[in-house]
Amino acid sequence: MRIDLHTHSDVSDGTLTPAELVRAAAGSGIEVLGLTDHDTAAGWAAAEAEALATGVTLVRGMEISTRHAGRPVHLLGYLVDPTYPPLVAALGKILDGRNARVPAILERLRALGIAIDVADVRRVAPNARATGRPHIADALVDLGVVGHRDVAFRDLLNPGRPAYVERYAASLEEMVGLVVAAGGVAVVAHPWGRSDPASLQADGLARLQSLGLAGVEVDHQDHSPADRERLRAIARELGLVVTGASDFHGEGKIDHDLGCHTTSPEDLDALLTLAAESGRAAGRMTPQVVRP
């Protein structure tokens, strides 16, 4: 069984619509798909309809932008009640923070002599709930300034590059608690990827586990093979669920093809068991896995 639990549609910074993403997954032989757009559940309904039509099992989730030890960390929240008011409020604040920094980034680009404004960004992201660096990168491609999104990040938009601007992110500890309170399960995404691994070694992960963290995304393109094995050993030792996923973004991210990393059926079962317990404990109407 091929299980890919972390993908993006164009309601965040992927390039396929939620329905196209589900069809692409079906075409790639993915049997269980996790839809995890950044900070939003806006793609869930369209993905659900297409999952029922194509026979893909769908796990609805989101990838929440958080901060830990001063560094950005992404947190996957699966099967949360998307109407839980504290979660809605927290996500709203993150989306506002994303939108608010776009003008500041554009100002820096203009200072570098690049003619770009908000309309250029909107044009390339008609379905996105919030616009961020990936959409600015797409606008730069569209305007012929760079050849690919990747180049825009490397030369202009990454930390330390001239157009980088910080944005608001929620505290990782608080968001783990919020995902659990919303009846879902929390899995830290690519913890040794772009973030600082120092804060997310065994002791850091154990502390998050005591706050309700259910799992760790181990098999991911941003982790070296050696890091995957070290992180897997830590996660297994702690009794955390181990996941693997593509972090597919359509055309938006090179080398993240659907199914390039996958999760084992045993780990998926463990995750879904924890989700069922979390939903019961929270007493909330949580979404179920869509099983056609």
Chain positions contacting ligand AMP, by CB under 6 A = 13, 98, 132-134, 149-150, 153, 249, 252-253
CB of 90 to ligand AMP, least distance (A): 16
Please give the full DSSP string across 187-229, using - where no structure is assigned.
EE-STTSSS-GGGGSHHHHHHHHHTTEEEEEEE-TTS-HHHHH
CA distance 262 to 32: 10
CA distance 100 to 213: 30
Q: Name which of Zn ion, ligand AMP, Fe ion, none residue 77 binds, using a CB cut-off of 5 to 8 Å depending on partner kind.
A: none
Stretch that binds Fe ion, among 58-66, 173-181, 208-216, 260-268 (CB under 5 A): 58-66
Of 53 and 104, nearer to ligand AMP (C-beta) is 104
**Helical H runs in the chain?**
18-27, 44-54, 85-111, 118-124, 133-142, 149-152, 172-181, 202-210, 225-238, 265-282
Position among 4, 40, 64, 74 found at the interface with Fe ion (CB under 5 A) = 74
CB of 98 to ligand AMP, least distance (A): 6
Stretch that binds Zn ion, among 6-14, 67-75, 195-203, 211-219 (CB under 5 A): 6-14
Residue 249's DSSP bridge partners are: 251
Q: Name which of Zn ion, Fe ion, ligand AMP, none residue 133 binds, using a CB cut-off of 5 to 8 Å depending on partner kind.
A: ligand AMP
Could you tell me how many residues of this chain bind Fe ion (CB under 5 A)? 4
Question: Which two structure tokens, joined as six digits, stand for 61?
Answer: 């989730």
CA distance 199 to 66: 13
CB of 169 to ligand AMP, least distance (A): 9
Q: Name residues contacting Zn ion, limited to 13-72 (CB under 5 A).
A: 13
Q: Name which of Fe ion, ligand AMP, Zn ion, none residue 129 binds, using a CB cut-off of 5 to 8 Å depending on partner kind.
A: none
Of 129 and 249, nearer to ligand AMP (C-beta) is 249
Q: Are 39 and 31 in contact (CB under 8 A)?
A: no
Burial 88-111 (b: 16+ CB within 10 A, else e): eebbeebbebbbebbeebbebbee
Q: Name residues contacting Fe ion, limited to 224-253 (CB under 5 A).
A: 247
Amino acid at 4: D
Q: Name which of Zn ion, ligand AMP, Fe ion, none residue 253 binds, using a CB cut-off of 5 to 8 Å depending on partner kind.
A: ligand AMP
| Closest residue to bound ligand AMP by CB | 132
Q: Judged by CB under 5 A, does residue 261 bind Fe ion?
A: no
